[in-house]
Amino acid sequence: MSRLFFNPFTGQFFKIIARRRKARKAPTGPRVEEMRTQAREQLPPRLAQLAARYGFSYNRVVIKNNISNWGSCSSKKNINLNLRLVTLPQELQDYVMLHELCHLRHLNHGPEFHALLDTLCADCFPNKNARTLAGQLRAYKLV
Ligand SMILES: [Zn+2]
């Protein structure tokens, strides 16, 4: 879609192109497949370990190739984890998994969700709190 506009200061016409906002697609290729293999090997056992340690149960864990989130949790108690998690330091991987596990009890980011996540993080990471870890995670961009 485009339209011509006239700029009276320059005496020229110019075009404004309105692009439809498209969801960015996650890259694919051999590097992504390498990460996927690694993620399938490493992430589900770690998630199971954390779930057992803190008394959570979920249905399925799926490793996803997307660039919209590090992880997600559905009301059907399925957890999705981004294959790119394997590129993060272990404690940030754990932080994302704890975050998704907390969504099994609170499907929102309300005060109860954060209280639970804070408690788990305090136990899991003696030197860092949930806020610090969230801040560190933000430094990693999903591309
Ligand atoms: Zn969340």
Give the pLDDT confidence of 50-109 residue by residue, as tens digits. Answer: 999 999 999 999 999 999 999 999 999 999 999 999 999 999 999 999 999 999 999 999
CATH value at residue 120:
3.30.2010.10
Q: pLDDT at position 1, please? A: 54
Task: Supply the DSSP symbol for 10.
Answer: T
104 within some domain: yes
How many domains does the structure of the chain reveal? 1
**Residue 100 Cα, ligand 1 centroid: separation in angstroms?**
6
Q: pLDDT at position 2, please? A: 63
Q: pLDDT at position 72, please? A: 98
Phi and psi at 23, nearest 5°, equal -65, 130
**Residue 98 Cα, ligand 1 centroid: separation in angstroms?**
10
Task: Supply the DSSP symbol for 26.
Answer: P
**Residue 72 Cα, ligand 1 centroid: separation in angstroms?**
7
Domain that holds residue 74: 26-138
What does pTM read for this prediction?
Answer: 0.84
C-alpha count within 13 angstroms, C-beta hemisphere, residue 96: 25
Mean pLDDT of the chain: 93
Q: Determine contact, residues 15/5, Cβ cutoff 8 Å.
A: yes
**Spatial separation of the C-alpha atoms in residues 105 and 73, rounded to whole Å:** 10
